[in-house]
Amino acid sequence: MALQSDLLRGYTDSIILRRLAGGDSYGYEINKQVSELSGGAFELKEATLYTAFRRLEQAGHVSSYWGDERTGARRRYYRITEAGRLRLLADCLAWQETKELLDRLMEEEKGNE
C-alpha cells in the first residue's frame, strides 16, 4: 500500500485538476470526492491539498474566489483555467504512457509463466 500511496501522491495536482474539470469546488469537497472514489483508500492531507492549490494557482492552472458566506461557512472555491485543462490533458496522456509501460514491465513473459 505504501507504493500505491507514493504513486498517487505524485499525481496530487492531476487529481485536483480532474476534480475541478467537473466544476468549481473547494478543498473539503474535493477531498471527500477523492476519498469516496478511492473507497476510502486514499485521502489528501489538508496541508498537501492547500499546498497543491497554491502551486496550481501560481502556475495559472486554477483560479480562486470566495464563495457566498450567506449559504454557510465562507469557503474559497477553485476553478480550473484553460491552462489547467491543457495541463490535465498532458498529465492524462503521461499517465496513460506510464500505465502502459508498467503493464508491460509487470506482465509475465510468455513461456516463463
> pLDDT digit of tens for each residue in the chain (113 aa)?
555 767 777 899 999 999 999 999 999 999 999 999 999 888 888 999 999 999 999 999 999 999 887 767 789 999 999 999 999 999 999 999 999 998 999 987 765 65
Q: Which domains does the chain have, with CATH numbers?
A: 11-106 (1.10.10.10)
pTM of the model: 0.85
**Three-state DSSP state, 17:** helix
State residue 86's pLDDT score.
Answer: 98
